[in-house]
Amino acid sequence: MHTQRQTLVLLFVILLSLGFDGFAANNLTVKDFFKNPPEAAHAISPDGLKVAYLKPYESRMNIYVREINDSKSEKRLTDLKDRDISQFFWKGNNSILFSKDFNGDENFHVFSVDVKTATAKDLTNYEKTRASVLDALENVSDNEILVQHNRRNKEIFDVYRLNVKTGKSKLVAQNPGSVTGWVTDHLGRVRIAMQSEGLKTNVLYRKNETDKFKKILSFGHKESFSPEAFMADNKKIYALSNLGRDRVSLVEFDPETAKETKILFQHSEVDIDGISFNKERKVLEAVTYITWKREISFFDARTEKVFNTVLDRIPKGEDIRYLSADKKEKTYIARTYSDRSFGAVYIYNADKDTLQEIISFRDLLPIEKMSEMLPIKYKSRDGLTIHGYLSKPVGAGDKNLPVVVRVHGGPWARDEWGFQREVQFLTNSGFAVLSMNFRGSTGYGKKFFEASFKQWGLKMNDDITDGVRWMISEGIANPNKICIYGGSYGGYATLSALTTNPELYKCGVDYVGVSNLFTFMKTIPPYWKTELEKLYEMVGDPEKDKEQMTKTSPALNADKFKTPLFIAQGAQDPRVNKAESDQVVEALKKRGIDVPYMVKDNEGHGFRNEENRFEFYGAMEKFLSKYLK
C-alpha cells in the first residue's frame, strides 16, 4: 500500500528480477523468468488524464506515457540504452522526474523529462555524486523540489531547493557532518534531522527553517525511532518507534515535549512496517505490517472503501501491491499480485465505480506451473522461533526433495510472501526452496534484532543450519541433495556455511557476497561512515573482535572449503567491493581448485541489465543441476 499521490514509484518488478535464454526447465526458459516485464510501475498523473509506466526499449526499462483511456496514444519519453530507469514520479502534469545510476555504481542522478517534448535533463550532473529526491513539494510548488546529495562531501548529504525547469538550486540545509536523514513538513520546510553520534542517534528539531536545530531525543543502536510524517497541523508527527517496548509501533510524537503522546497502532507479534499518508488531504490512511503475509489496517474510511472495493473484484488469491490516485482521488491505479502470479494493473473510477484491467501479467508464467509460498517455522538450537517459507516443485511430492536454501540479504531485512522470480525459477527447475528469516531479520521485534549482533558466521549461521536439519528431520529434503545460495549478506552466509558445515551441502552459489569482514569494513561507501561505529557493534570491531572476525571471514579460512562453489560479482559494486569475491577465488586457485567466477564490468550490487541476468541465472541453474539432479 503506497500513499495517494505517492512521491516515489518503485520499480519493484525489476528489483525482484535479478536472468540465459536457452535451458528449458519444465518447458520454461530462463528468459521466461528474468526478462524485463512488458510494463511496470504504473503511475497516474495528478489530473488523472495520463498514466506513465516503464517499458522495455532496446532491452532497457524506459518511461512511456499514454492517455488514461487511449492505449493507442502511447509515447516514449526516454531512450536510455545503458541502464534501466530505477524509479520515477510525476511532477505536475507536464514533467516526470526519474533517477538512474551508472553501471551499478549507485551514484544515482535525478533527471527530469518534459511530457510534451520528451526532452530530458540531468538535474544533478555532478561527478561521483549520489542524489535523491527528499520532497517532491507536490502541494507547495509547481516547479521546485527538494533534493539531497553529497557533492560537497561524499560522506554526508546536504539539502537543496531545485527548480526542475531551470536546473538551478539553492542550499536550504547544510549537513553539519553527522546528519543521516532529513524530514520535511507539509510546507516543504526541513524541520527534523536524524543525527548519528557514535552508538547513539539524535533527533534534532526546529519550528522554522530560520531557527537552529536543537536535540530533543536520543536513543541507542539497539532501538529505533523513525519520523514518518508531520500531522495535519505541522506540529506533532507520526513516528514508528520501539522506544520502551519490543515491537515497533505507530505513535503520535510531540517534538515540543519530546514525548510520545499516544500509541496509535501496535501488533502483538510483529513490528509495524510502514504507513500510508495522504498528502493532499493530510490524513493518515493506513499502517502495514507483515505476519506471514503483508497486512493492512486502515485509519481512513475513503481509502479503506476503495481498497476493499478493488480487492473484492480481483481474482481470489491475489492481493493489492500498491494503490495510488490522482490529486482529486477520482481515478486510481491498482497493482495486484500473489505468490503464484504477477497479477495485473487496474484503473478504478471512483465516480462511476468501475474497475478496468489495463494490462495482465498472469499469462507471462502459467500459474499451474508456479509453486505456492508456504509459511513454515522451526526452533533454533537456543530456543528462538524462526519463521520462513517453503516452496516445492509442482507435482514433485512432499518428501525427499532436492533443496536450494535461499538466504536473504541485508542481513537486517526479511523475506516475505509474494511472487519471487528466483523462487519460481528454482522450483520450476525441480528444486524445493527454503527461505528463512534468521535472527536479525526485520519485523520480529527488538530482541530478535539484537540477537544478531556480532553473530555473523555464528548464531546467524546456526539458524540457517537448524533450518536445513529441520527439513531433513521432516523428510522434506534429500540429505544428499542440498545446495545453498544467497546474494549480498546471503552470499556471505553461503561462504560461511561452506566453511563451517560443508558436509551439509553439495554446492553453493555466492552472489555479490562479503568474504572478509576486515576488508569489507574498509571499503564501505563513504556515506556509510557516519554509521561505522554502530556497524562495529553490530558486526564486529576489527581491533576488539579481531580473533572472532578472523574466524568468521570465509576468505581467511579458505582451507576449509570442500564444496563446489560458483561466484558472481559486479565490478562496480560500491557496497561489496569486487575484491571480496576476488579473495576467495584467488585463495581457492592456490589450492588447485577451479571456481566458476562470473564478473560483469557494467554491474554493481546485483545484476540489473537483462542480458546479464539471463547469463547469471542460466549458469547458476546448470551449476545447481550438476550437483542436485
One-letter-per-residue 3-state SS of 84-151 = CCCEEEEECCCEEEEEECCCCCCCCEEEEEECCCCCEEECCCCCCCCEEEEECCCCCCCCEEEEEECC
Name the pLDDT band for 614 (thresholds 50, 70, 90): very high
Q: Which band of pLDDT confidence, cut at 50, 70 and 90, is reported for residue 597?
A: very high
- Residue length, the chain? 629
Residue 7 has pLDDT above 70, yes or no: no
How far apart are alpha carbons 204 and 188 in whole angstroms? 17
Q: At residue 383, what are phi and psi to the nearest 5 degrees?
A: 100, 5
Confidence of residue 23 (pLDDT cuts 50, 70, 90): very low
pLDDT band, very low/low/confident/very high, at 71 (cuts 50, 70, 90): confident
Type of residue at 568? A
Name, in order, each residue with C-beta under 8 angstroms of 50's C-beta and a sequence gap of 6 or more: 44, 65, 66, 67, 68, 93, 115
| Core vs surface per residue 514-540: b (16+ CB within 10 A) or e | bbbbebbbebbbebeebbebbbbbbbb
Is the pLDDT at 13 greater than 70? The verdict is: no
Average pLDDT over all residues of the chain: 94
What's residue 629's pLDDT? 86
Does residue 19 surpass a pLDDT of 50?
Answer: no
If pLDDT is split at 50, 70 and 90, which confidence band does 211 have? Answer: very high
Report pTM: 0.93
pLDDT band at 157 (very low <50, low <70, confident <90, very high): very high
Q: Please, are residues 138 and 118 in contact by the beta-carbon 8 Å criterion?
A: no
What is the CB-side half-sphere exposure of residue 329 using CA atoms within 13 A?
14
Sign of the Cα pseudo-torsion (241, 534, 495, 519, in order): positive
Residue 4 has what pLDDT? 33
Query: Residue 611: what residue type?
Result: E
Residue 120 in this model has a pLDDT that exceeds 60: yes
Q: What grid cell was written down for 503?
A: 558436509
Q: Is 37 helix (H, G, I), strand (E, B) or coil?
A: coil
Examine the pLDDT at 232 and tell me if it is beyond 70.
Answer: yes
Architecture of domain 371-628: 3-Layer(aba) Sandwich (3.40)
User: Would you state the cell numbers that stand for residue 211, as one nine-digit string?
Assistant: 531557527
What phi, psi does 620 have (nearest 5°)? Answer: -65, -40
pLDDT in tens, 169-182: 999 999 999 999 99
C-alpha cell, 181: 536523514
Q: What is the pLDDT of residue 301?
A: 97
CA–CA distance, 63 with 269 (Å, rounded to integer)? 41
User: Percent of the chain scored above 90 by pLDDT?
Assistant: 94
Which of the four pLDDT bands, split at 50, 70 and 90, describes residue 623?
Answer: very high
Closest listed residue to residue 299, CA positions, set 330, 272, 338, 320: 272
pLDDT at 18: 30
Predicted confidence band of residue 26 (pLDDT cuts 50, 70, 90): low
- pLDDT tens by residue, 475-500: 999 999 999 999 999 999 999 999 99
Query: Alpha-carbon torsion 213, 214, 217, 219, what sign?
Result: positive
Predicted pLDDT of residue 14: 27
Share of the chain above pLDDT 70, in %: 96
* Closest to 200 measured CA to CA, from 243, 143, 235: 243
Give the count of beta carbons closer than 10 Å to the beta carbon of residue 624: 24
Evaluate if residue 556 carries a pLDDT over 80. Answer: yes
DSSP string, 38-62: SSEEEEE-TTSSEEEEEEEETTEEE
